[in-house]
Amino acid sequence: MEKNQKKLFAVLIIAAILIAALPFLALKGAEFGGSDDAGSVMVEKIHGEYEPWFSPVLESVIGGEIPGEIESLLFCVQTGIGVGIIAFFMGRLYERKKLGKDNEEL
């Protein structure tokens, strides 16, 4: 990675973190619910009472809402799978370049 690329990379990541973190820090007491929930509220506003005609598979299996902790666990699993794959390949690509074997197939 060239030097100015490295700099750009750092700037991008920092900017992304700031955009994500600032609202959270600035808006004290905001609820930070999902915009989906806001969406269903809007459906009810337009349509009147609305009863969803199908409930999520997992929720009907366990007969209730997925507990918050479990949901965040599952989301973490999703993130983990993704990060694992990216980190694995990034590591291999990085090492390949370092060893000067740029044109070899992975």
- In angstroms, the CA 3 to CA 61 distance is 53
Binding mask 17-36 for another protein (x = CB under 8 A): --xx--xx--x--xxxxxxx
Is residue 38 part of the contact set for another protein (CB under 8 A)?
Answer: yes
Residue found by looking up tokens 């009907």 in the block = 60
| Sequence-distant (≥ 6) Cβ neighbours of residue 36 within 8 angstroms | none
Binders in 59-98 for another protein, by CB under 8 A: 59, 65-66, 68, 71-72, 74-87, 89-91, 93-97
Nearest alpha carbon to residue 59 among 51, 71, 42, 69: 71
- In angstroms, the CA 28 to CA 31 distance is 9
CB of 62 to another protein, least distance (A): 10
Residues that bind another protein (CB under 8 A): 1-2, 5, 8-9, 12-13, 15-16, 19-20, 23-24, 27, 30-40, 42-43, 45-47, 50, 52-59, 65-66, 68, 71-72, 74-87, 89-91, 93-97, 102-103, 105-106
